[in-house]
Amino acid sequence: MKLFRQLLMLLTCIAVILVAAMQRDGKVLGHEVNNEEEATVDTIAKEAEPADVLKVMDDGTTVVNTTSLCADVQGYAGTVPMEISVKDGVVLDVKPLPNKETPDFFEEARVIVAHWKGKTVDEALKTEVDAVSGATFSSEAIKKNVKAGLAYVAEHPVDTSSGNGLNAKTIAGLIVVLMAALIPLFFKNKTMRIIQMILNVAVLGFWCGTFLNYTVFLRIAANGFNLWMDIVIILMLIVAFIYPLFKKKSYYCANVCPFGSLQDLAGKLNKNKISLPRNVLKYLTWFRQLLWIVLMALMVAGLWFDWIDYEFFTAFIFQSASIVVICLAAASIITSIFIPRPYCRFLCPTGTLFKVAENNL
């Protein structure tokens, strides 16, 4: 009966995320859903005909729109179509079309378009451009869109699928998550736990910028998985949602989450923690639960999705994170020195989702 309740709550949480994705992006797991809202970029991508890909301007400039060419290439929150202008075999301009990417992150990623401007189409196709640290998904999607558009101009089609994303960063993230997912099950040691927390923070947090949050949930709910690009996220989701079915509650939060690990590490700086009165703890817990209910209701109603950009996890991607988020996250870490895991215990909407799915509020 207890397992049945857990499964029921897990399915309820999944349903909430799917409805929110439908409200925000108009699709679920890559499939368009009928609604009366104005067509999004993703809707246009599905409906575009080949004639929409290329048009020739009066001055002879060829303009390529990659919306339909790269309808299956995903950034962080959805497709990232580009418009490429070519004249006399030279790339004049590369500019992004409307998309669902987080504005601050996308601004970091779009700087790479300068690498193609002024080159011939052949030179641009051969140009290798590194992804922008902190905005990997967006910059990789931009690269694939530009490559597909240039290849279309050159009449040499290329495979625009997302491809194998097992680069060094992904492999490192995968190793760290596997360590966190398996080692504590069989081997408990304080020193090993400290090493794991440092790896979670350094590799998953600051280097990879990979963690579970509502931006990830909605992207996957709307667009589905890409096995190679999402392999670390997939493993995290298994730990977060499947482990609790086998009596490993809060396993992701305790052993994998980079922000939780950073709070734990900060807490080790001071052994004499402040003991909050029981009534205060009760009210703070109620506040976290009420906050979660309000935020979920807003998403299901299709209102104010911008709050997901203010989850503290994004502070790890400090190159493009909001200064407000960085300051709040820093305040939370400082508070962790005196009060164990304050963000996890009293605010975190992602952690609350896990608790609801576990039937463990």
pLDDT digits (tens, 9 = 90+) for 293-337: 999 999 999 988 889 888 999 899 876 677 899 999 999 999 999
Q: Give residue 44's pLDDT.
A: 37
Q: Give residue 133's pLDDT.
A: 65
Q: Give residue 40's pLDDT.
A: 39
- Alpha helices in the chain, H assignment, sequence order: 2-25, 41-47, 103-109, 121-126, 136-153, 168-186, 190-199, 214-223, 231-237, 251-255, 258-267, 278-300, 323-336, 342-346, 349-357
Report the predicted TM-score, pTM, of the whole model to 2 decimal places. Answer: 0.70
Backbone angles phi, psi at 245, to 5 degrees: -70, -15
Task: Categorise residue 171: left if φ over 0, alpha if ψ from -120 to 50, beta otherwise.
Answer: alpha
CA angle at 287 for the pair 347 and 327, rounded to the nearest 5°: 35
pLDDT in tens, 156-185: 444 444 455 568 888 999 999 999 999 999
**CATH value of 39-153 in 1.10.10, 2.40.128, 3.90.1010, 3.90.198:** 3.90.1010
Please state, rounded to an integer, the average pLDDT across all residues of the chain: 84
CB 310 within 8 A of CB 325: yes
Nearest to 106 by CA among 136, 130, 73, 61: 136
CATH code 3.90.1010 region(s) in the chain: 39-153
Q: Give residue 161's pLDDT.
A: 46
Q: Give residue 69's pLDDT.
A: 79
Answer whether residue 195 shows pLDDT above 80. Answer: yes
DSSP tag of 249: T
Q: Give residue 42's pLDDT.
A: 39
